[in-house]
Structure 1
Amino acid sequence: MRYFCFALLLSLGVGSIRAQDSTAVRRDTVIAPTTTDASANDLLAGLADTTQTEGDLLPHKMIFTQRAFWGPHGLLRSMKIAPLTSEGRVHELKVRRTMLVAHQIGGFITLAGFVAQGLLGAKLYNAKGQDYVDTKKWHERSATFINVTYGTTLALSLTAPPPIVGARKGFTSIKLHKYLAIVHLTGMIATNILAGMIENNSSLKPIHRAAAYTTFGAYAASILAITF
């Protein structure tokens, strides 16, 4: 199960590292007003535009997962599930908002899992006998839970319908969130690899612990970047 989750994270991670959420904004574009703060506007921006042609309804740049589902010739278009129309795009932007809200909720759930995993890991390093066996079992269960919630949270971000509003120029909290995502994704992959190697090489435990702490720090910082 651990290796399946690792493979899932690795495949999703390629898309995350390549992710670009930017596009040019037409002058006749109307941005729907929101009541959220600047960070939420960047992450959950919606747009209603009835003056665009079908060719202008999608951003010029999309990550490959979005293009596979929502592109002009994507799976949902070819199956007639989500026709590319102005009305359809308005609905898709509502779906996008819902998925990204779920992405944020999943982030907090995963963060709680990281905290529990850290406590179990600290206990495991000093445990002996039956206490070690029991703690190790819960440590592995916690790792599986984190991999599942982390992968789900990542998938929600990568497969959400694309936006229309271009990304704000300059350094923003959303860009910081994405840069930190590269760090904690790399840490997740390294932590999973090292966890499998520890069984045959206990000297890797300090490196595994350092990778886990780095992952947690980057993940917590990425959440704080779009929360406050």
Structure 2
Amino acid sequence: MSGSGYAQVATSTPDSLTTSATSADSLLNELVDSKETPALLPPHMIFTQRFFWGPRGVLRNLKVAPLTPEGRAHELKIRRTMLVSHQVMGFVTLAGFIAQGIVGAKLYDAKGESFGKLLNTHSTLATCVNITYTTTALLSLAAPPKMVLERSGFSSIKLHKYLAVLHIAGMITTNVLSGMIDSHPELKPYHRAAAYTTFGAFAASIIAIKF
């Protein structure tokens, strides 16, 4: 064999060894050993994910969550746990919405001592719903970003996100109007409409993601 022929075989050998890895473990090893930076984060993230988990996010700068293949594998497990908790808290919040709606409907026609008791119950439920709703939202907004891109076209996940924008706006509106009712009782119908809209959008978002 000539010297030039030997050189051609030698230079082609590393490439053939690299492309021969097909298992999940060997793929991870390729990512770790590669001299090129692998695409570990999706190109598009919501602002909260970018703040915490982006290439220059808080957790990266504090060295709490290094941007490595192993680190991203761990983050995806954290993401799954947070999103499962997000769903559970969503059902808890939905139950709170229903209870608050029942009490609120009775409150409109209540008078005297009954009105005072129902008002206290309604206020307590409102506080609980605000807490569970905020927790539900944060579990989704602060979860680590996913690994792959979303498929193009319409999906239940996208519908869930669109409805989330609606019920977040409704939640803010409901709380603002609630604080204004004492001095402006004429706002009660608008407060009621905002509350029902928020409940409807929230319930629809849960149905969309589950079914």
**TM-score > 0.5, shorter chain as reference:** yes
* Residue number among 197, 202, 206 corresponding to 2:180 in the alignment: 197
SS at match of 2:66: coil
Moved over 3 A (4+): 48-55
Tell me the residue number matched to 1:16. none
* Residue number among 124, 127, 150 corresponding to 1:144 in the alignment: 127
* CA RMSD, 1 decimal: 1.7
1:127 to 1:196, Cα distance in 2 relative to 1, 3 A: same
SS at match of 1:60: coil
1:2-17 correspondence to structure 2 within 5 Å:
none
Q: Determine if contact 1:54/1:85 at 8 Å carries over to the other structure.
A: no
Higher-Rg structure is 2
* Residue number among 147, 163, 175 corresponding to 2:146 in the alignment: 163
* Residue number among 127, 131, 142 corresponding to 2:114 in the alignment: 131
Once residues 73 and 173 of structure 1 are traced to their aligned partners in structure 2, the CA distance between those partners, rounded to angstroms, is: 31
* Residue number among 188, 193, 204 corresponding to 1:221 in the alignment: 204
Tell me the residue number matched to 1:118. 101
1:68 positional shift:
1.4
1:75 positional shift:
1.4
Once residues 214 and 205 of structure 1 are traced to their aligned partners in structure 2, the CA distance between those partners, rounded to angstroms, is: 14
> For structure 2, which runs of at least 5 residues remain unmatched after alignment?
1-21
| Paired amino acid for 1:193 | V
1:73 aligns with 2:56: yes
Tell me the residue number matched to 1:208. 191
1:207 positional shift:
1.0
Using CA pairs below 8 Å that are at least 6 residues apart, which structure has the higher relative contact order? 1
1:54 positional shift:
4.0
- Higher helix fraction (1 or 2): 2
1:178 aligns with 2:161: yes
1:71 to 1:54, Cα distance in 2 relative to 1, 3 A: farther
1:66-125 CA-to-partner distances (Å, cap 9, x unmatched) read 111111121111211111110110000000000000111111000000000001101111
1:65 positional shift:
1.1
Q: Determine if contact 1:76/1:82 at 8 Å carries over to the other structure.
A: yes
Once residues 54 and 140 of structure 1 are traced to their aligned partners in structure 2, the CA distance between those partners, rounded to angstroms, is: 53
1:116 to 1:106, Cα distance in 2 relative to 1, 3 A: same
1:220 to 1:50, Cα distance in 2 relative to 1, 3 A: farther
1:190-211 CA-to-partner distances (Å, cap 9, x unmatched) read 1001101110111111111111
1:225 positional shift:
0.3
| Paired amino acid for 2:135 | T
1:219 positional shift:
0.6
SS at match of 1:56: coil
**TM-score, with structure 1 as normaliser:** 0.77
1:132 to 1:163, Cα distance in 2 relative to 1, 3 A: same
Once residues 28 and 176 of structure 2 are traced to their aligned partners in structure 1, the CA distance between those partners, rounded to angstroms, is: 46
SS at match of 2:186: helix
SS at match of 2:149: coil
Tell me the residue number matched to 1:92. 75
